[in-house]
Amino acid sequence: MQIDIQNLDSPLFIAWHITNRCNLECIHCLWKSSPTGAFPGELTKEEAINFAKVLVDHSVPYVAISGGEPLLHPAFWEVAEIIRSHDVELKIETNGQLISKSVAKRLAELDLRSIQISVDGYTPETYTKMRPGASFEKTINAIKYLIEEGANVEIVFVPAKFNIHEAEKLIDFAAELGVKVFETGKTMYLGRAVDYWDIIGLTDEEYEEYKKMLERKAKQYEGKMRVLYYPFDIIEEMQVMYRHPPASPLVLAHGKVKLIGSIPYVVADIRKHSFEEMWERYKKGWKHPKVAEWVESVKSNPKLLAKANDLVELDLS
């Protein structure tokens, strides 16, 4: 059953890119996040806390906080506690580098819907090729600490030419650790991935073989760990979402609101617009002719996706 967002008074989900600053500089990063990669004018601690209060005041049922590295934001803990204290479902997407035993305990106490940790290899060498400067050991320890504390841990694996051969062993390892979900899909041609596509991008044939392996592992671990494959590439996803817009605005670190990551248009600004105005502008944005034009243009020229992060204000007057 498809939901028509035009009939909804409020979003069902908020994807909150809380900071673009990160302690890593991963070669596939959709946002080109880095230690110095914070967006100009990111929300202050007070502004982020206030927005969290707005979300709970409007009974948004589900929020996912990502980055960058969300744990770097000065308001992270206050924001998470506000959201969870009102029984809003919360997912955290992290690289795991900052999760010590004490941090794992604190995260687990929030009773999160899930904590998603990025692991793109079974060996330290492969993992650090995707995530230069990262510690494979820290990431695995973070997963162990969280599971020991009873947290619901998901692993996300970004496939590339140099790591796909390790995916099966990583799935087995994840199951041994007690991970609940192993999630993967087609790597997105966005952000820094565009610059490294020659060593990242897989062929359709490689994806087909990859998918067969995942289906086999899904059957093997049925009832123990879910093995999920997101079936759309970035263009297919955009076309599906254009036909059936999701009830899930993307809120960026500086308060700008996008439809989805692969469409450059900004439809609102939480510093300028009320929550109700933001939602109405989001719904209106999906109907704008420039959005239709972008979706059609990218279909014939995928390289345009290199401009998806340009953040172009959409005239919704």
3-class state of residue 104 by DSSP: helix
Gyration radius from the chain CA atoms:
19
CA distances from 237 to 63, 69, 183, 232, 292 (A): 20, 24, 16, 5, 14
pLDDT tens-digit map of 257-284: 999 999 999 999 999 999 999 999 999 9
Q: What percent of the chain stands above pLDDT 70?
A: 100
| pLDDT of the residue at 317 | 85
On the 0-12 / 13-18 / 19+ scale of CB atoms within 10 A, 15 is buried
Let me know if residue 243 belongs to a domain: no
Q: Which candidate, 69, 60, 57, places its Cα nearest to that of 253?
A: 69
Please check whether residue 5 lies inside any domain of the structure: no
CB 151 within 8 A of CB 115: yes
Confidence of residue 31 (pLDDT cuts 50, 70, 90): very high
Task: Give the span between the Cα atoms of 42 and 186, in whole angstroms.
Answer: 30
Task: Flag whether 261 is in a domain.
Answer: no
CA distance 182 to 160: 16
Question: Total domain count for the chain?
Answer: 1
CATH of the domain at 52: 3.20.20.70
Looking at residue 200, what is its pLDDT? 97
Average pLDDT rounded to a whole number, residues 230-243: 95
Asked if the structure places residue 176 within a domain, the reply is yes
Query: In the structure, what pLDDT confidence band is assigned to residue 24 with cuts at 50, 70 and 90?
Result: very high
pLDDT for the residue numbered 90: 99
The mean per-residue pLDDT over the stretch 31-39 comes to 98
Structural domain including 38 reads: 10-231
Each residue's pLDDT tens digit, 189-232: 999 999 999 999 999 999 999 999 999 999 999 999 999 999 99
Task: Let me know if residue 88 belongs to a domain.
Answer: yes
> Over the chain, what is the mean pLDDT?
98
Residue 37 lies inside a defined structural domain of this protein: yes
Residue 96 lies in a domain: yes
Name the band, by pLDDT with cuts 50, 70 and 90, for residue 1. low
**pLDDT (tens digit, 9 = 90+) per residue, 154-170?**
999 999 999 999 999 99
pLDDT tens readout for residues 122-149: 999 999 999 999 999 999 999 999 999 9
Q: For residue 128, what pLDDT is reported?
A: 98
**What Cα–Cα distance (Å) separates residue 48 from each residue in 20, 55, 75, 99, 168?**
14, 11, 6, 22, 39
In a domain, 55, yes or no: yes
Averaged over 303-314, what is the pLDDT? 96
The rounded percent of the chain whose pLDDT value lies above 90 is 98
Please give the average per-residue pLDDT across 173-185, as a whole number. 99
